[in-house]
Structure 1
Amino acid sequence: EEMEQASEFLVVAATLLDMKVAGLLPQGELIDAESVALLEARDLLFARLLQYRAFKEVSAWFARSLEREDRRHTRAARLDEKFRRTVPELVWTLTPDDFAALAMLAFAPRAIPEVGLDHLHAPLVSIREQAAIVVTLLRSAGTLSFRELVAGVAQPGIVVARFLSILELYRHAALSFEQLEPLGELTLRWSADRWSDETLASLGADYDR
């Protein structure tokens, strides 16, 4: 073991000496490339030696710790009497009827959870019918907000259909809208000079496909 430590010391000392000499040598084109490569290889060897030494010390620490902990054993014995006396007495606060109710709740058959499919069979909403309602309301009032157009509507599908009908009417230049700020109130105005039932019949054709 002493010989091994002496060898490691000599290798480290020689490597440090080479590094010191390399630092004192003048830097320039006169330095041999082969010598530089040799010094770099020795630097790498020195770094690996340090890593090896660190891993060796850590493994020795683990070995000592495992050997020390191996002498420990769990105590297979009941609790000492002085500690057993400190345990508080068990006080029952439930009556037999309470236990019976808990038993009935625990053994009662549970309902099997079901996944609702009602949202998959929602009734279809016609864009054309909602457009007719929007046209009637706007032609009678002149100016309405979108909130007023969907007032009293509980089904989300109808709200979406009325919004799509507004887009269709705007594409046919039947109305104009104004929104002063993002996500603000949407104000609609009827602006069509000529309007016929034939134009209304063609609304929403793209959504019927």
Structure 2
Amino acid sequence: MPSTAEPAATAESATEAESRGGFRVRLDNFEGPFDLLLSLIAKHKMDVTEVALATVTDEFMAHIRAMGPDWDLDATTEFLVVAATLLDLKAARLLPAAEVEDQEDLALLEARDLLFARLLQYRAYKRAAALFGERWAAELLRRPRTVGLEPRHAELLPEVVITIGPQRLAELAAKAMEPKPKPVVYVDHIHTPPVSVREQAELVVGLLTELGEASFRQLVEDAPDSLVVVARFLALLELYRERVLAFEQPEALGELRVRWVAEEGRGVIEVTDEFDRPAGEGPGAASGGNGSGEGSGEVEEGERR
């Protein structure tokens, strides 16, 4: 099959190959540079089955021998890769197209496109290598600057412009050098605030003096939480120790009744605050350490009882 490439392109490629000393092919249906032959096969302008690869291989061997000891190893390797690809492609093209009887034949048919893709990939890498070579040659002409700056250029420093005064600068320096506060972990949200037994006793005394008698349920019905209930129960025990109230429970585990029994004309009822004191402080500490302070004698007497 004669070549269908354009004459101008063929002549230009041939001239370029000759100027580079490239490998030329002389066949019955083609004569010209080997790269042009590959280009025609890649563009489907020449059928690979009509290319005598044995003749091409012989001519390449003769071309290598003519180069003598200066033959190019890279060019030889490239030719071997391309020749092997063309050989595989030609073998795949020569398979009968209408006889696909098993998976092996189908795989061979599909290999045609794979081999053609390998050929295109080779061409792409070759062009990229040529581009890198041109860039390498161009960059070799450049030389970096190895001398330092000239004195007149090295002394060109920008003027320092300070936009703040000495007072503001001193404030910033003091702020930067002052010690940072130590981190504090607040636990106020963890611990529930304490409930005073003395305050709850005052509330109980007020209710009982008004009602005379009430159930424990009535005394704690307005308590917002269990801590207040416990504090009022402790207050009842302290008032019972002061003999100002009495407990009644008609049935076992029944309703607890509280009755006010304080004598008329009795003074202010005070309840010890020992439940509200920090740990380590005894009853004597609240009265100055001698146990004879005013307002606490009745509490201590009750404690001794």
Of Structure 1 and Structure 2, which has the larger fraction of its residues in helix? Answer: 1
The structure with more radius of gyration:
2
What is the TM-score when the length of structure 1 is the normalising length?
A: 0.40
What is the TM-score when the length of structure 2 is the normalising length?
A: 0.28
Question: Larger RCO: Structure 1 or Structure 2 (Cα < 8 Å, ≥ 6 residues apart)?
Answer: 1
